[in-house]
Amino acid sequence: MNILVVEDEKKIASFVRKGLEAQGFRVEVAHDGDTGYTLAAARPYDAVVLDIMLPGRDGLSILRNLRERRMTVPVILLTARSELNERLEGLNLGADDYLTKPFFIEELAARIQAVVRRASGTPQSILTHRDLTVNLLTREVKRGERPVELTSREFTLLEQLVRSPGRVFTRMQICEKVWGYDFDPGSNLVDVYVQRLRKKLDGPEAPGLIETIRGVGYRMKPGGP
């Protein structure tokens, strides 16, 4: 998917770009409202991630102009503020969703996928690997016929791994995806959560799916059933 991110805070824009690109999106970034509107109006994006507070045109003005031109590209608004009136105004102008800063990149990616699915009429997404089934909409996980109850963080970690079987993720990459950009790279948090996942997913008749790559990180074991 081709995504336009309009965000004037360069640190956040870089964080969003890297996070979305790591999940397979193609991302273009604009740092001011005028450039963002020009790009959104001229190029065929699958979705636009639009900050409300921008130099030049503000996000709500951009959204209003796009909808006046009958452009139906899905738009997700970003805001550092949580006032109800601002959110309602954006939704009334035709925004498809909104997200308040700070946020986790996985939540943004999931919301992008959701608004694109709604716009295209694509049915719910289900990831499968071997006998593992992960429903991204209902957040239900099954190992064979056995339901697996996961916390929100555990689910996000599992989703990251199962999306790319065989790909090795470093602990830092996992931290950035699951815990956002505020993390302690010296923490053993990733190892703890991987062990929790293994305990919940594996069993006598359900061999281990998550593989430790010594000195590097973790991956979902590649291969079929």
For the stretch 36-73, pLDDT in tens is 999 999 888 999 999 998 999 999 999 999 999 888 89
What is the CATH number that goes with domain 126-220? 1.10.10.10
Token readout for 62 is: 């951009």
With a pLDDT cut of 90, the percent of the chain lying above it is: 46
Residues of the chain with CATH 1.10.10.10: 126-220
CATH class of domain segment(s) 2-120? alpha beta
Q: Considering the chain, tell me which residue range(s) the CATH 3.40.50.2300 domain(s) occupy.
A: 2-120
- C-alpha to C-alpha distance for 113 and 194, rounded to whole angstroms: 25
What are the pLDDT digits (tens) for 10-30? Answer: 999 999 999 999 888 899 999
Global pTM reads: 0.55
DSSP string, 43-65: S--SEEEEESS-SSS-HHHHHHH
